[in-house]
Structure 1
C-alpha cells in the first residue's frame, strides 16, 4: 500500500502521472441542535432560491431523479486550483456578462463595472462587450478614444459600497415581491401600463394583437403557468412602465424579474408563435435597457424558432382562406427580420437573415384591432395603421442589409465601384417616393407621428452610413470628395429633421422615442465632428457646419432634462469643443456651447497627457471612424455607457433609494 505524502499532487501520483485526488480530512461540524437549525434554515433558503430561479421545478421529484450512486467530485480547495486549471478557462476577449439584470444582488462582491450600451455607441476599454464590427455606432468614436486619461478602476471602498447596496437589496427582496403582488392587483395601474405599451410601442412594432392579448388578460387565471403568455404579460408591463417614464419605473425591475422567471429552456422544447413573440419582446427591451448581448441572443432564438415554424414561407397555393392568423405570422416574421437587420447595423455583427429563402410577403396595411384571428383579411386601408411603420421598416431593412454586406462586412474592397453607393442612394430615393401619403402629410394621427419619424430617421442614418462606408474604401480623390460631401449633407439633414421634430412635438417624446432621437442625432453630429477632425478645411461652409452642430447641441440639452443618454452625449460634445478651442485657429462656438452643463464636470484639457492612438486598448469595432485625427485624449473616458450602463451594479432604472 502506497502511503500518501500529504502534498498535492502527492509523490506517487507525480511519478505515475495519475490524477491526484488527495484531499485533507473533512472538517467535522458538531451535531448540535444549533447547527441542525442553521442547516435546516439554509436548506429552506436554498429551496426558496431554487423556486425563484425556476418556478416550474418540483424539488422532491428532482431529488428522486438524482443518481445517489454517482460519485460526485468534492469541491476543489484553493491548494488544488493551480493543478486543475486549464488554459481554455481563460476568458475570450469577446466574452461578456450581463447577469446582473437577473437580480441586483447577483454579484454581491463585484466592484462596479462599466457595461456595453444598447446603442453600441461608446467605446470600452474592457473587452467584455462582445464583438462589435466595423458597422457599429461605436466605431464612430475610435479616433477620439484617447482624449482623456484612463480613470482608476474599482477600489476596495467601491467593492464595500457595492456589497452593502446588494445586501440592502437582498433584504428588500421579500417586500418587493409583496409590492409586485399588490401592484398586479391594482387594475388601474396595470391598465395604464398596458395602454402605454399598445399606444406607444406596439404602434411601431405590432408584435401582439391587442384584442387577443386583452381577452387573454381577462382570463389570465385560466392560462397554464408554463404558457409563454406569462412572460409576454410581464414584458408588456415592463415596456409600459419604461414608456411612462421614471415615475412609474420603481416597479419595472419587478416586472422584468417576473418575466424572466417564467422563461426557461422548456420554452424551446415547443415551437409556438407565442414563444417567438416573447423572445422578440425580451430582446428589444433588453437592448433599450443596455443589455445588447443578451437581447441579441434573444432575437437570435426568436429568429431560429421563426424558421422552425416556417414563418418565412407563404401559405400553400391551395389554402382555402387567408385569415388574420396567417397575417399575424407575416407581421411577426417581418419584425424578426427588421430586428435582426437593425441589430446587425448597430453592433456591426453579420446579418443572419437572407432574402434568398424568404417568400413571405409584406403585411397588409389593415386595422387589426377590428378583426379576430379567424377573420378573412380585408382590403388594405388608405390611412395609417399599426402596420404602416412596420411595412416601411421592412422594406428599408432589405436595403440596410445590402449596405452592411457590401460596405461593412467584407474584408477588403480592392475593386470598389462608386456606382454601388449611387445605386443604393437611388434605391432609397425610390423607397421614399413609394411611401404612402401619410408619411409626408402634415395632418396625421398623433400616435403615428413617432413611428413615422423613427422610420424616416432610420433612412437618413442609413444614407449617412452608406456614404461613410464608401468614403473609407474609395481610392480616387474625386470619389472621396463626393462621398464626404454627400455624407455630411445627409448628417446635416438628419440634424435638421430630428431637432425640428423635438421642437414641434415635445409631448410625443416618451423615453422610447427619445432613445431613437438621441441615437440618430448623436451619430449625425459625430459624423460632422469626425470630418472636421480629419480635415479642418473640408468643403462645407463653416457657418452651415456650425449651425448644424449648434442645433444638435441645443436639442440634446433639451432632451437631457429627462434623458440621461442625452446628458452623456452632451458631455462628449463639450469635450470635443474644448479640443477645437485649444487649436491655433478654433472655430467660433455659440454661447450655449461654451457654457458649463448643469451637473456635468469636465477635467481641464491641459491636465490630459498625450497618449498615442496605438496605445489605446479598444474594441475591434472602434478602428475605422476616427483614424488619423489630431486628438490625443479620450472624451468618452469616465462615462458610464450610452445610455446608462452599470452591468454589475443596480438595475439601471431602480431609484437610488431602492
Structure 2
C-alpha cells in the first residue's frame, strides 16, 4: 500500500527539526513546527545526520583510535589539557568534560606553603571587599603590611579589642577559569622532549647562574613530573619562560612574535595574576621583564619589573622572615635571593634610564643571600654553611653590593640638578667605594682556575662595575663648572670607557667558545656604550688644558674605538644587535648629512670614507628613537637626522607601540 506522505516532500523526508530531535519528541513536520512556534524557537530542518552503525566492531575501532590519538597528543605536549584544547577548536560543541574545577588556580608554587603568611588572593568577586586603607584587623593572608598600616597599629592594642568572628567572614570562592595554552597550533612546538631538556639545561647553565630566580632542584623535580601538574598551575608559566630564555641564550631566538615559547608564556599571563600574590608570580614577572628587555622591548620589560617589585613588597620580601620562624631553611634563602634580583633589576634599569630608583636601602632589612651550594637541597632543608667557591649565588651577592653603590651614583650624580653647586668630592668618594668593592670580592672573582660556567657571570659583574664608573664620571663632567675639574672628570670617564673596551674585547677573544647569546648581549651593550662615550667626545671636543696629554689620549681612544668595532664585527654573525651598533657608530663617525637615507651598512674594515658636511646641529630637530638605557648619553647632543632610524632593535627599540615617555620633547630626563 502506498505511503500517505510523498517521498518528494522535503519536509516530510527530514521528518523532524533540530529542536525536536534534541528533545527526542515527535515533530509536526510543518515549518515552523508546532513546538517551535509555541516556544518561539528557530525551527530548522537540517539533513539527517549519517551515523556509524553501533556495532561492537565499530566501537572497538573507535576506542583504539581515541586511545592512540590521546597518546599522540600527550607525547607531543605532556602539558596540554586535552579537554581545553577540544573546547578551543570546537567552542560550540558541548564537550562532556569534568564538571568540578579545583578551587586553587595557583598550585605549583616553589614554596610548600604560604610565604610566611604574606601571600594573598583577591581574585574572587564574591568575597567581602578588602579594607583599602588596610586599617582593619584581618585573619587571612592579605600581603605584607608595614608598621605604618592601620592593621599593625590596631594589633598593638589587640588585647583591648572585642573578639568579632563576623568581621572577617570567609565565603566560598568561584574562581574563573584561567586562560590556557591548549591551542593545537602550539602543540607541535613542544613535541621533542630532548629539545625541551636542552632548553632547560641552557637556562640553568647560562642564565640562572647570573640571576638565581629559580631553585634548580625544585624546578627540575617538577619538570620531570610535569604531566601530573594541573594545567592551570602557575608553574607552567615559569616553564614556558624558562624555555623562552633557554632558547634565546642557546640559539639567539626567533623573532619575538614567532617564538612559540614566549607566546605560550604570554598567553598564560592575565589580570588574574595581579589579583593574588606569590613568590612564583614575582619570579614570573622578573623573568618576563628581563627577557623582554633583552629582546628589544625595554619599556615593556621595565613595566613587568615594576610589577615584580610591587608584588615583592606586598610579600614582604624586603624584610627578614618573622623572628618566630623556628629555623632558617633554604626557602628563606630563596626569598632573599629573589628580593635581591628584584633590587638589582630595578636599580640597574633606573640608573641607565634616568628614571627614579624605586628600591631604597633605607627600608630594606633583608640580608644578602649566603654563598651556599643548594644543588642537593630541597626548600624545606636547613640552610647549609657557606662555601669558598663559586655557586649560583656568587654573582648576585657581588652585584647586589655593587648596586647599592649605583643607587648613590643616581641620587648624588645622575639626578643632580645642573644649577646646583658641584665639586668632585662626591664622585671621588664614590669612585673610591667602587675600588673598595672590587678589592673585597672573593678570590674566585680574579682566579684563573674557575668553572667554565662561572666565567660569564663573573665577567658581567666586572663589566657592570666599569660601566658604573663611566656613568659616574660622565654625569660628573656635565655638572662641573671649573674647566680643570671638567677635564679631570672627562678623562676619568674616558679611561673607564677604555678599560671597559679592553676587558670586554679581551674576554671575547680569549673565551670566544663560551660566548652564548646572553653573554654576547652584555658584551655588545657595554662595548657600544663605551664606544659612544669616546665617539661623541671627538665630535664636540673641548679645549684641553694639557695638549701633550690630549694627543696621547686621542690616540688611545681612537685605537680603543677601532678595537671595539672589530669585536662587534666578530659578534655580528650571531648577534644582530652588534651589527646595528656598528651601523650607529658609522653614522656617528660620518656625521650623516641631512636628507641622506639612513641605511644600515654592512661592516667593512677597509671603509674609511668621511663624507663632507653633516656638522652637528645647534638644536635638536627631533627626538632620537634610542633605547632608554642609552638616553643619558644623547641628552646633550643634537643631530640633523636620527642616528637610530631604521634600526628595529638595540641600540634602538622594537616596541609594539611607542611609549609616551620615550622621545617626548616636552619631558627632559634628569
TM-score by length of 2: 0.65
Once the 2 structures are TM-superposed, how far is the Cα of residue 520 of structure 1 from its aligned partner? 0.4
Equivalents in 1 of 2:376, 2:568: separation in Å? 39
Quick check: 2:293–2:301 contact (8 Å CA) kept in 1? yes
Q: Which residue, out of 357, 366, 373, partners 2:379?
A: 373
Structure 1 unaligned residues grouped into runs of 5+: 1-30, 35-44, 52-57, 62-174, 582-590, 597-601, 650-658
Confirm or deny: 8 A CA contact 2:288 2:304 kept in the other structure: yes
* SS of aligned partner of 1:349: coil
Deviation, structure 1 residue 270: 2.3
Among 315, 322, 339, the alignment partner of 2:328 is 322
Using the alignment, how far apart are the partners of 1:206 and 1:447 within structure 2? 14
User: Matched residues in 2 for 1:626 and 1:618: separation?
Assistant: 8
Does residue 287 (structure 1) correspond to residue 311 (structure 2)? The answer is no
User: Which of residues 553, 557, 579 is equivalent to 2:565?
Assistant: 553
Choose which of 303, 307, 313 in structure 2 pairs with 1:301: 307
Structure 1 equivalent of residue 555 of structure 2 = 543
CA contact (8 A) 2:592 2:611 kept: no
Looking at structure 1, the residues matched to 184 and 233 of structure 2 have their Cα atoms a distance apart, in angstroms, of: 23
- Displacement of 1:578 in angstroms is 2.7
Distance verdict in 2 for CA 1:612–1:546, change over 3 Å: closer
Greater helix share, structure number: 1
**Inter-partner Cα distance in structure 2 for 1:294 and 1:50:** 34
1:341 match? 347
Deviations 1:62-81 (A, max 9, x none): xxxxxxxxxxxxxxxxxxxx
Partner of 1:563: 575
User: Which residue of 2 is the match for residue 224 of structure 1?
Assistant: 230
Contact 2:354 2:632 in 1 (8 A): no
Corresponding position of 2:589: 577
Please say if residues 620 and 640 of structure 2, whose CA atoms lie closer than 8 Å, have aligned partners that are also in contact. Answer: no
After alignment, is 450-459 or 300-309 more displaced?
300-309
| Partner in structure 2 of residue 448 of structure 1 | 454
Q: Corresponding residue for 2:513?
A: 507
* Aligned alpha-carbon RMSD (Å): 3.7
After superposition, give the CA deviation of every residue in 1:154-204 in whole Å (9 maximum; x if it has no partner). xxxxxxxxxxxxxxxxxxxxx995464234242111100100000000010
Aligned to 2:160: none
CA pair 605-628 structure 1, distance change in 2 beyond 3 A:
farther
Note the C-alpha offset of 1:294.
Answer: 1.9
| Larger RCO (alpha carbons 8 Å, 6+ apart) | 1
Does the aligned pair in 2 maintain the 1:534–1:629 contact within 8 Å? Answer: no
> Equivalents in 2 of 1:439, 1:352: separation in Å?
29
Q: Which residue of 2 aligns with 1:615?
A: 621
Shift of 1:378: 1.4
Show the 5 A alignment for 1:42-121. 48=88
Task: Quote the offset at 1:315 in angstroms.
Answer: 2.4
8 Å CA contact 2:501–2:530 kept in 1: the answer is yes
Of 390, 398, 401, 2:396 maps to: 390
What is the CA-CA distance between 1:292 and the residue it aligns to?
1.7
TM-fit CA distance, 1:580:
10
CA contact (8 A) 1:611 1:633 kept: no
Aligned to 2:646: 638
Superposed displacement of residue 50, structure 1: 12
The Cα offsets for residues 269-311 of structure 1, whole Å up to 9 and x where unpaired, read as 2221111111111111111111222211211111111111111
The equivalent of 1:215 in structure 2 is: 221
- 1:227 positional shift: 2.3
2:534 to 521, 528, 543: 528
Instruction: Provide the C-alpha distance between the structure 1 equivalents of 2:653 and 2:631, rounded to a whole number of angstroms.
Output: 22
Q: Which residue of 1 aligns with 2:151?
A: none
1:189 aligns with 2:195: yes
Aligned mates of 1:628, 1:228 — CA distance in 2: 46
> SS where residue 620 of structure 2 aligns?
helix
SS in structure 1 at match of 2:214: coil
> 1:353: which partner in 2?
359
Structure-2 separation of matches of 1:203 and 1:229: 20
Change (3 A) 1:629 1:227: closer
Structure 2 unaligned blocks of 5 or more: 1-41, 46-84, 92-97, 102-180, 545-549, 594-602, 658-670
Change (3 A) 1:505 1:623: closer
SS at match of 2:355: coil
Q: CA deviation at 1:606?
A: 5.0
